[in-house]
């Protein structure tokens, strides 16, 4: 296709600028042509037929005089600069008409293909007025996107010709992970965990930092009664302790090939990012230092440790665009790198695929050395397909073989996990919808037991 033809084709595909006949005009010409063809039976000449068609065509051009000029229209887009993946957001287009002519319109906003697009949108704009057109859109893939154009078509009230206008409206949108679970935790930590049947564990008695003195209630440890304050106030008072603050948490996010496995909603990496951000919010809220390291065959992102909820935005901006790589993860390289950047004792919280990790014998060597200084916990997502295969009835030979192989895989995983846990390296798996809750629950349990 030549460049000139491509430009004309772009105009017909709601791009650039131009003037197009509408379906109404085409229908008028079809009806007129049929009438004139029938009229040829009464000796109407072909010359007269062509002259009438050309006359009607030029008369139809008068319709363009009853529609606004392109310079009389202006547009403004309002769209959130930051959108969470899978969450519906409202976009708004302001259309200003300063002419004396009302018109009908169709509009397409230049959103990326990964967005759910509710276009074209149509309506009517009165003369000398401003209207606001709203639409709902949802982003399905994380990343940074630029929205550059708005495609607008409008006709006069007769609707014979349609003018086409392409407007340059430049906006940048960042699509970040779904923070629903993170917000739920920050609003009410206990409710977030209890909702899934888990509770924040009590910390080990007599450990942690002193928090305050309060009235004794049934169920409190009698060994923590403050006898001095009890004698002063003539009321039984008890000391309350909380886990020590200022601990170091290092979150490791695997972006290797196996993290691209599709789940019910999104893939493993999407769930790992959501869970990692929830744990980050929990740790920062409690005053701990959090660092994040994302990797595949090489280091992709490293955010140095810091504390305070403001650090959550720093981490979010660093990891929101992470994608799954086609390569296998290099656990040995990332653990070796971790030795050089994390000198203080910390909780290493790895989000990865457990079955893939168990096959990495080289990683065990590095972890044995890291275990002397750090506490290691790995969290993965259960393979529901494998578990469903085990539960199936062996109705035929093929089903029995599949069930047997699935059981063999589960037994291998259990055996390898026991071997790793004997080295003091804990590995757990959770269902995809409970990954964030399991991660936060284990983090709180470790903090309450003062294992760091």
Q: What's the pLDDT score for residue 364?
A: 74
Per the CB < 8 A criterion, the answer to whether 153 and 249 are in contact is no
- Give the pLDDT band (50/70/90) at residue 26: confident
Distance of CA 279 to the CA centre of its chain: 17
The size of the chain, in residues, is 452
Separation between Cα atoms, residue 121 and residue 125, nearest integer Å: 13
Q: Which two tokens stand for residue 411?
A: 């037994």
154: exposed, middle or buried (C-beta count within 10 Å: 0-12, 13-18, 19+)?
buried
158: exposed, middle or buried (C-beta count within 10 Å: 0-12, 13-18, 19+)?
middle
Radius of gyration of the chain (CA): 33
Per the CB < 8 A criterion, the answer to whether 401 and 373 are in contact is no
Per the CB < 8 A criterion, the answer to whether 135 and 106 are in contact is no
User: Who has greater pLDDT, 421 or 49?
Assistant: 421
List b or e across 312-321, with b for residues whose CB sees 16 or more CB atoms inside 10 angstroms. beebbeebbe
The structural domains of the chain, ordered by start, are 1-176 (2.60.40.10), 209-242 (no CATH), 248-448 (3.40.50.410)
Q: What's the pLDDT score for residue 171?
A: 93
- Give the pLDDT band (50/70/90) at residue 200: very low
pLDDT over 90 at 94, yes or no: yes
pLDDT over 80 at 184, yes or no: yes
Short-list 279, 303, 275, CA closest to 291 = 303
Average pLDDT value for residue range 313-326 = 93
Per the CB < 8 A criterion, the answer to whether 372 and 402 are in contact is no
Average pLDDT value for residue range 136-157 = 90
Separation between Cα atoms, residue 380 and residue 357, nearest integer Å: 10
Separation between Cα atoms, residue 341 and residue 411, nearest integer Å: 36
Short-list 354, 415, 350, 340, CA closest to 376 = 350
Separation between Cα atoms, residue 316 and residue 337, nearest integer Å: 22
Question: In what side-by-side order are the strands of the sheet with 88-97?
Answer: 73-78, 88-97, 129-138
Q: What's the pLDDT score for residue 338?
A: 87
Poorest-pLDDT segment among 162-171, 188-197, 248-257: 188-197
Q: What is the DSSP string of 132-185?
A: EEEEEEEB-S-EEEEEEEEEEEEE-SS-SEEEEEEEEEEEEEEEE---HHHHHH
Tell me the pTM. Answer: 0.78
Per the CB < 8 A criterion, the answer to whether 141 and 114 are in contact is yes
Separation between Cα atoms, residue 406 and residue 381, nearest integer Å: 16
Short-list 318, 311, 304, 320, CA closest to 284 = 311
Average pLDDT value for residue range 47-65 = 78
User: Who has greater pLDDT, 419 or 125?
Assistant: 125
In tens, the pLDDT along 240-251 reads 766 566 889 999
List b or e across 278-292, with b for residues whose CB sees 16 or more CB atoms inside 10 angstroms. bbbbbbbebebbbbb
Cis peptide, bond prior to residue 346, ω within 30 of zero: no
Separation between Cα atoms, residue 253 and residue 34, nearest integer Å: 69
Q: What's the pLDDT score for residue 357?
A: 82
Per the CB < 8 A criterion, the answer to whether 366 and 335 are in contact is yes
DSSP 108: E
Q: Which two tokens stand for residue 354?
A: 């457990």
Average pLDDT value for residue range 27-46 = 73
Q: What's the pLDDT score for residue 222?
A: 82
- Give the pLDDT band (50/70/90) at residue 196: very low
With the CA atoms of 348, 352, 356 and 362 taken in that order, what torsion angle do they form, in degrees rounded to the nearest 10?
-30
Q: Which long-range contacts (CB under 8 A, 24 or more apart) does 178-181 make?
A: 178/84, 178/85, 178/86, 178/87, 178/270, 178/274, 179/84, 179/274, 179/277, 180/84, 180/87, 181/274, 181/275, 181/278, 181/436, 181/437
Q: What's the pLDDT score for residue 158?
A: 81
């Amino acid at each position: 296709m030549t460049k000139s033809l491509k430009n004309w084709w772009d105009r017909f595909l709601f791009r650039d600028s131009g003037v197009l006949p509408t379906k109404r005009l085409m229908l008028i010409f079809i009806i007129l042509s049929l009438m004139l063809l029938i009229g040829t039976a009464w000796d109407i000449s072909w010359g007269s037929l062509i002259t009438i068609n050309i006359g009607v065509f030029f008369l139809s051009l008068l319709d363009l005089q009853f529609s606004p000029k392109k310079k009389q229209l202006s547009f403004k887009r309002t769209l959130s600069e930051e959108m969470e993946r899978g969450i519906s957001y409202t976009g708004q287009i302001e259309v200003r008409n300063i002419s004396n002519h009302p018109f009908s319109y169709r509009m397409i906003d230049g959103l990326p293909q990964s967005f759910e697009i509710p276009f074209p949108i149509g309506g009517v704009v009165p003369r000398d007025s401003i209207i606001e057109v709203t639409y709902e859109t949802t982003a399905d893939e994380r990343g940074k996107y630029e929205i550059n154009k708005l495609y607008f078509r409008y006709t006069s009230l007769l609707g014979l010709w349609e003018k086409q206008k392409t407007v340059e409206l430049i906006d940048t949108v960042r699509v970040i992970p779904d923070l629903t679970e993170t917000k739920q935790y920050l609003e009410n930590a206990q409710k977030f965990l209890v909702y899934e049947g888990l509770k924040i564990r009590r910390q080990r008695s007599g450990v942690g930092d002193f928090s305050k003195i309060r009235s004794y209630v049934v169920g409190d440890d009698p060994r923590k009664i403050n006898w001095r304050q009890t004698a002063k106030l003539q009321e039984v008072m008890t000391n309350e302790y909380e886990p020590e603050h200022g601990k170091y948490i290092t979150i490791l996010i695997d972006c290797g090939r196996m993290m691209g496995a599709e789940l019910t909603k999104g893939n493993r990496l999407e769930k790992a990012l959501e869970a990692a951000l929830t744990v980050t919010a929990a740790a920062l809220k409690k005053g701990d230092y959090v660092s994040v390291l994302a990797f595949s065959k090489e280091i992709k992102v490293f955010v140095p440790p810091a504390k305070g909820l403001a650090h959550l935005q720093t981490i979010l901006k660093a990891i929101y665009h992470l994608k799954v790589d086609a390569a296998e993860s290099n656990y040995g390289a990332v653990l070796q790198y971790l030795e050089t950047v994390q000198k203080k004792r910390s909780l290493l919280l790895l989000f990865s695929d457990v079955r893939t990790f168990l096959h990495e014998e080289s990683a065990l060597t590095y972890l044995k050395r890291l275990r002397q200084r750090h506490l290691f916990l790995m969290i993965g997502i259960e393979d529901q397909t494998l578990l469903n295969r085990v539960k199936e009835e062996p109705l035929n030979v093929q089903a029995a073989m599949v069930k047997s192989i699935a059981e063999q895989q589960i037994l291998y995983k259990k055996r390898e996990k026991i071997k790793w846990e004997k080295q003091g390296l804990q590995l757990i798996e959770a269902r995809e919808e409970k990954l964030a809750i399991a991660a936060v629950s284990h983090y709180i349990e470790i903090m309450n037991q003062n294992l760091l």
